[in-house]
Structure 1
């Protein structure tokens, strides 16, 4: 049995779109990037959901993703370990909280150690 030919115009046609192209730059949420001294940063060592491995979680950033990734790269190099950026938080493998608090304060952030 031969498959029926589909008209290429038939399936790709948009019948109604209220706001135009949803993937355009106009619909992306603007993230206000505040100066470091106006950001309250929390540094916490955590093991939850990581099979007993300690990870230092740095949260409270209000930065653009590019700036946050650059900062994460710099902090990972300082600690000599790996890490990642997830949902405006930086996770660095290992317990490096005192070293990271000192580095962030030197950069002008209001950083505090949270937790035990």
Structure 2
């Protein structure tokens, strides 16, 4: 039997470990995604092995180049619109191996 609630401290949860992002295979993938976005497309950049601060800087750089908005979610960069070609060209210039994934 596991203790779930105590009147002294309230709800008791086991300590959750800090989530580790899976290590990529060295290839950055860019895909277009519309699911769950009311038909609006975004370009999702996955596989960048960067820490959170560097990832945010890279996202800001990509958004500036593409001239549109976006965000960082779960270690992936989401840029609004179908701007995969611009993103691919910029990342290849930076020295990343890039593939266009999906349709």
TM-score, normalization by structure 1: 0.68
Tell me the SS of whatever aligns to 2:31.
strand
1:38-71 deviation per Cα after TM superposition (whole angstroms, max 9, x unaligned): 7310000110110100100000111110000000
Distance 1:44 1:29, change over 3 A: closer
More helix by share: 1
Alignment of 1:78-97 (within 5 A): 78-97=65-84
Once residues 30 and 96 of structure 1 are traced to their aligned partners in structure 2, the CA distance between those partners, rounded to angstroms, is: 29
Tell me the SS of whatever aligns to 1:102.
helix
Consecutive unaligned residues in structure 1, runs of 5 or more? 1-10, 13-21, 32-37
Match of 2:34 among 38, 44, 47: 47
Tell me the SS of whatever aligns to 2:48.
coil
What is the aligned-residue RMSD (CA, Å)?
2.2
Once residues 47 and 20 of structure 2 are traced to their aligned partners in structure 1, the CA distance between those partners, rounded to angstroms, is: 17
Tell me the SS of whatever aligns to 1:108.
coil
Number of aligned residue pairs: give it.
89
Tell me the SS of whatever aligns to 2:49.
coil
Give the match for residue 77 of structure 1: 64
Deviation above 3 Å: which 4+ runs of structure 1? 27-31
Consecutive unaligned residues in structure 2, runs of 5 or more? 1-7, 10-14
Larger Rg: 1
